[in-house]
């Protein structure tokens, strides 16, 4: 069974799949509940293909975000994972504000560094990975989804699925024609057999 993770940017009216253009079922993991995903791969020795999508705090510098990304990849190795695809985090606006309690103060963020890592790992290691990600001080939010090597390869081959192009750029406003304007439409030319 494969899953799809979508990013919705209401300002642009875009709905982008983060890892591949695959025929999949959506999986919602509320509050870090990995039970449905783990149930399928809980047998000892079963290795699955997963994607870890994450948001790092926007208060990090680009260098610090890159360093945290390297430590996240090391964490995947520590839980028995083998990485085969990734997109480095890049700063982008969020579709909605997210809160995180830092020390004793709840802070709200409207942007974050988004990135993802595709890896193979035993299904039993997902709980440990999710627990460590939840406790990580630089992680605003994370999500683990099951995917396929083919979907990751398709995503990596398609530069339009990079996180950077998802940043909404202002566009030029075009004025509409007055209501009483006449619009001429040419009739289609007849096909000649």
Structure confidence at residue 192 (pLDDT): 54
**What does pTM read for this prediction?**
0.64
CATH number (domain holding residue 109): 3.30.70.60
Residue 186 lies in a domain: no
**135: helix, coil or strand?**
helix
Structure confidence at residue 171 (pLDDT): 43
The CA–CA distances, whole Å, from 63 to 14, 68, 69, 88, 137 equal: 29, 9, 10, 12, 16
- Looking at the structure of the chain, the number of domains it has is 1
Q: Which comes out higher in pLDDT, residue 191 or 123?
A: 123
Q: In the structure, what pLDDT confidence band is assigned to residue 184 with cuts at 50, 70 and 90?
A: low
Residue 176 lies in a domain: no
Q: Which comes out higher in pLDDT, residue 71 or 163?
A: 71
Structure confidence at residue 64 (pLDDT): 96
Which DSSP state fits 120? Answer: E
Residue range 101-160, pLDDT digits in tens:
988 899 999 999 999 999 999 988 899 999 999 999 999 999 999 999 998 988 888 877
CA–CA separation, 6 and 16 (whole Å): 6
Residues in the chain: 193
Residue 182 lies in a domain: no
Residue 63 lies in a domain: yes
Structure confidence at residue 124 (pLDDT): 87
Structure confidence at residue 41 (pLDDT): 62
Q: In the structure, what pLDDT confidence band is assigned to residue 173 with cuts at 50, 70 and 90?
A: very low
Residue 174 lies in a domain: no
Helices and strands in the chain, H and E counts? 4, 8
Please spell the DSSP secondary structure of 40-65, one letter per residue. Answer: HH-STT-EEEEEEEEEE-TTS-HHHH
CA–CA separation, 30 and 74 (whole Å): 25
Residue 185 lies in a domain: no
Residue range 25-84, pLDDT digits in tens:
333 433 445 555 555 565 556 889 999 999 999 999 999 999 999 999 999 999 999 999
**Cα-flanking dihedrals φ and ψ of residue 31, to 5°?**
60, 30
The CA–CA distances, whole Å, from 66 to 62, 143, 158, 159, 163 equal: 6, 19, 22, 20, 15
Residue range of the domain that includes 100: 3-166
CA–CA separation, 189 and 193 (whole Å): 12
Residue 109 lies in a domain: yes
CA–CA separation, 153 and 173 (whole Å): 37
Residue 183 lies in a domain: no
């Amino acid at each position: 069974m494969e899953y799809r993770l979508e990013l919705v940017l209401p300002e642009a009216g875009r709905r982008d799949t983060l890892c591949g253009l695959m025929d999949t079922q959506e999986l919602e993991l509320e509050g870090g509940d990995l039970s449905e995903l783990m149930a399928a791969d809980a047998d000892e020795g079963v290795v699955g293909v997963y994607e870890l999508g994450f948001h790092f705090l926007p208060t990090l510098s680009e260098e610090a975000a890159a360093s945290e990304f390297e430590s996240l990849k090391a964490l995947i190795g520590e839980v028995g994972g083998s990485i085969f695809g990734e997109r480095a985090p890049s700063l982008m606006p969020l579709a909605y504000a997210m809160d995180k309690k830092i020390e004793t103060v709840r802070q709200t963020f409207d942007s974050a560094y988004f990135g993802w890592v595709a890896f193979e790992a035993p299904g039993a290691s997902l709980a440990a990975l999710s627990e460590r990600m939840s406790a990580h001080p630089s992680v605003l939010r994370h999500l683990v989804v099951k995917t396929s090597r083919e979907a990751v390869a398709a995503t990596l081959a398609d530069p339009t699925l990079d996180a950077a192009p998802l940043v909404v750029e202002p566009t030029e406003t075009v004025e509409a024609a007055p209501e009483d304007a006449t619009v001429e439409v040419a009739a289609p030319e007849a096909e000649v057999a």
